Amino acid sequence: DKYNDFIEANRIEDASERMRTLRKLIRDLPGHYYETLKFLVGHLKTIADHAEKNKV
Count CB-CB contacts under 10 A for residue 19. 12
pLDDT band per the 50, 70, 90 thresholds, residue 56: low
Residue 4 in this model has a pLDDT that exceeds 80: yes
**pLDDT of res. 55:** 75
pTM for this predicted structure = 0.76
Exposed e or buried b per residue across 28-47, where buried means at least 16 C-beta atoms within 10 angstroms of its C-beta: eeeeeeeeeeeeeeeeeeee
Q: For the segment 7-55, what is each residue's pLDDT rounded down to a tens digit? A: 999 999 999 999 999 999 999 999 999 999 999 999 999 999 988 887 7
